[in-house]
Chain A
């Protein structure tokens, strides 16, 4: 028989104001194996913990129940306290009599007192059958995989590499930069986006600790926190990276031209090309779906002109195996697909473009070299309409959430437009203006005053082409009047959605996404950069829409979290996991199929099921599904649960 101690906290009046703690302590003290039962005003305080420590020493306790607040508050505190006296911390359990008793039954003191006593009795049942456990130590691989080479992935990679950790950075496009490479200038400082990005991307390219794989994707992931095994697929670029000097002669000579997605349909691209001018790395790839050599073998132009003999039509996809300890998912965003934006005319009317298209237009390296002109006829637009919340904040038809960046992006667009076309008139349709970060509101107010922007509060109902102009029908909800603007050009601030393929990637990593496809964090406030799968971390717009400032902050936070994780020799994991009674296991294999973590496997020689202790997360799915009760959870066995049920029902 164990010698148990029960310590009941008053929590000031939080518990003792409702529960008669003295009488509970007295009653519990009469239980046969309870060697010590005490109450105190604040058990978590130093004198409170001292009472526990002294009782363990004095009475030789080998099990402790602290009846207090939720285990999420002070389970660790008390486990440390008992550990200091040589008791195994897993022999200490919390009876939650505050959040789940005194606070929710404040008017029913008698009933709450009875309930508190039962909760303690049930917790005693658990402690009676608890085993002493040791945390599971797992060796840790100190390298990190970063998926996505936008500003989030770049920042996280640099932070980690500067911290001394080796980084494998994957980017599926041929160059770094993500959407930031498409931007002209950033709000609120109006700095050129590209120069800042170029600096960071170049640092990544030459950092000795960063292994950069562009035009590459993650094909397979196995393992668990501290020990992930990866297979990376490097797509064939058809250009020998070692030989290519990035001179660009092949690009000049390539005869194939097609519409560039990077330029949002406004520029052209060659079949052999870099992702964008001065890209990092600045080496071209052959887009095989466009190249005449790959279509019908009719053209070898690039091969002929390359002075370095770097063209390699025979190159094949390469598969690389790597091991890492943690993964950053920085997969970024797309804009809401234009095909689905019926009423805005986007995709049908050439002078209706989206925000990224306008960014390309404003970029000195873009299709118009920074000049604002109508895509249809090249004229300077004198009347411009900007529409905010396109496909955002529209739960009935599009996305219910706010895309967060559009208010500021639009103000920036209108400001730059007025700078370039001083006699032009911008109209901005908006729902609300959200400018809640450092310097944003000031930027906005100053822009509105100086540039005399016309903000119209209301949604647009229709955009259509009429007589060479784009007519925008909407309502100004502040005056209640219908508004019709005959514009030369329309820019849509389109909703941010997660980038293509995130769902598949998340499934490979066993991370989760929400109903819109954004990656979910372990806790929105307390664990915002961790995914719910240990060792998988989040950064950037893949988690939720955010601007560059927030993305960089989050990426750095992610990098710090990972550095903390990797700073130890061994990873200590909670030992509250599944185990198998080998005498009983019949080898049916149900647990193997049901385990979401591949932590269960059949032993081919003995015909029974095993548990990979490092993979098991302790969810208990296998336990509930085992037909003959051969598997159990450490310190959470069926007999413990059933005895707790007994306490509560009998």
Chain B
């Protein structure tokens, strides 16, 4: 059987992490192709339903990328994201997602390498965790 390849859906803020992901490309950082990026203006715009939908549909991990605390282009959006993710993690536990499948990371526009390293690390960790348990439900 082929090795399990996790699928990550990423929600990246326009000003920091999306631009950081662009910089990873410009500087030819290499990371595994398991990630699919959705561009939003701010990490504070990541609705809980986006994350839940991704996980229920079977994404193995969700990455939310925003500006470092204090650097939010919209002043406090990343703090809103941080609070939302904290609450969300409690709900996910109840739903049976016992592992840490939702990563909230602060990656600035100048941290292309950090973005590549984060994706690489996340793929490694998700491989250890194994597939999203929801997928078994769908296939049962």
Rounded to whole angstroms, the CA-CA distance of A404 and B71 in the bound complex is: 24
B36–A122 touching, CB < 8 Å: yes
How many B residues are at the interface, by size bracket?
35 or more
Rounded to whole angstroms, the CA-CA distance of A104 and B59 in the bound complex is: 21
- CB A143 to nearest CB in B, in angstroms, measures 26
What chain B residues lie within 8 Å of A648 (beta carbons)?
Answer: 7, 9, 36, 38, 54, 59
In the complex, what residue of chain A is closest to B81 when comparing beta carbons?
A624
What chain A residues lie within 8 Å of B40 (beta carbons)?
Answer: 620, 636, 641
B84 within 8 A of A: yes
- CB A429 to nearest CB in B, in angstroms, measures 33
Rounded to whole angstroms, the CA-CA distance of A114 and B74 in the bound complex is: 34
A644 within 8 A of B: yes
Rounded to whole angstroms, the CA-CA distance of A98 and B24 in the bound complex is: 11
Given known A104-B30, A596-B76, A642-B49, contact A649–B9 (CB-CB < 8 A)? yes
Binds B, one of A105-113, A134-142, A240-248, A273-281: A105-113
> What string of 1s and 0s marks CB contacts (under 8 Å) between A615-639 and chain B?
0011111011100000001001010
B121 within 8 A of A: no
Rounded to whole angstroms, the CA-CA distance of A623 and B43 in the bound complex is: 12
- For chain A residues 91-108, which have a beta carbon within 8 Å of chain B? 96, 98-101, 103-108
- For chain B residues 30-44, which have a beta carbon within 8 Å of chain A? 30-33, 36-42, 44
A115 within 8 A of B: yes
What chain B residues lie within 8 Å of A645 (beta carbons)?
Answer: 9, 38, 50, 53-54, 57, 59
B26 within 8 A of A: yes
Of B19, B41, B58, B75, the residue contacting A72 (CB under 8 A) is B19
Rounded to whole angstroms, the CA-CA distance of A104 and B26 in the bound complex is: 9
B41–A620 touching, CB < 8 Å: yes
A594 within 8 A of B: yes
A624–B46 touching, CB < 8 Å: yes
A512 within 8 A of B: yes
Given known A512-B75, A624-B47, A638-B47, contact A104–B116 (CB-CB < 8 A)? yes
Of B19, B31, B45, B57, the residue contacting A624 (CB under 8 A) is B45
- CB B106 to nearest CB in A, in angstroms, measures 14
B31–A633 touching, CB < 8 Å: no
A104–B57 touching, CB < 8 Å: no
Given known A512-B75, A532-B73, A596-B75, contact A105–B30 (CB-CB < 8 A)? yes
Rounded to whole angstroms, the CA-CA distance of A105 and B29 in the bound complex is: 9
B21 within 8 A of A: yes
- CB B19 to nearest CB in A, in angstroms, measures 7
A649–B54 touching, CB < 8 Å: yes
Rounded to whole angstroms, the CA-CA distance of A105 and B41 in the bound complex is: 25
What chain B residues lie within 8 Å of A512 (beta carbons)?
Answer: 70-71, 75
A515 within 8 A of B: yes
> What string of 1s and 0s marks CB contacts (under 8 Å) between A594-610 and chain B?
10110000000000000
What chain A residues lie within 8 Å of B117 (beta carbons)?
Answer: none
- For chain A residues 367-407, which have a beta carbon within 8 Å of chain B? none
Rounded to whole angstroms, the CA-CA distance of A594 and B47 in the bound complex is: 14
A104–B36 touching, CB < 8 Å: no
What chain B residues lie within 8 Å of A620 (beta carbons)?
Answer: 40-42, 44-45, 77
A351 within 8 A of B: no
A70 within 8 A of B: yes
What chain A residues lie within 8 Å of B15 (beta carbons)?
Answer: 532
A118 within 8 A of B: yes
A220 within 8 A of B: no
B90 within 8 A of A: no
In the complex, what residue of chain A is closest to B46 when comparing beta carbons?
A624
What chain B residues lie within 8 Å of A112 (beta carbons)?
Answer: 33
- CB A124 to nearest CB in B, in angstroms, measures 14
What chain A residues lie within 8 Å of B109 (beta carbons)?
Answer: 523
Of B29, B30, B74, the residue contacting A617 (CB under 8 A) is B74
Given known A638-B49, A649-B9, contact A100–B75 (CB-CB < 8 A)? no
What chain A residues lie within 8 Å of B32 (beta carbons)?
Answer: 105, 108
B77–A619 touching, CB < 8 Å: yes
A636–B41 touching, CB < 8 Å: yes
What chain A residues lie within 8 Å of B47 (beta carbons)?
Answer: 623-624, 638, 641
What chain A residues lie within 8 Å of B9 (beta carbons)?
Answer: 645, 648-649
Given known A623-B47, A624-B46, A633-B45, contact A107–B30 (CB-CB < 8 A)? yes
The interface centre, meaning the residue of A104, A112, A625, A649 with most chain B CB atoms within 10 A of its CB, is A104
Given known A100-B25, A107-B30, contact A624–B84 (CB-CB < 8 A)? yes
B22 within 8 A of A: yes
B77–A621 touching, CB < 8 Å: yes
A646 within 8 A of B: yes
- Rank and list the top 10 A-B pairs by shortest CB-CB distance, nearest first: A620-B45, A99-B25, A103-B25, A619-B74, A648-B36, A649-B57, A111-B33, A99-B22, A624-B47, A619-B42
Could you tell me which A residues sit within 8 Å of B by CB distance? 70-72, 96, 98-101, 103-108, 111-112, 114-115, 118-119, 122, 510, 512, 514-515, 520, 523, 532, 576, 594, 596-597, 617-621, 623-625, 633, 636, 638, 641-642, 644-646, 648-650
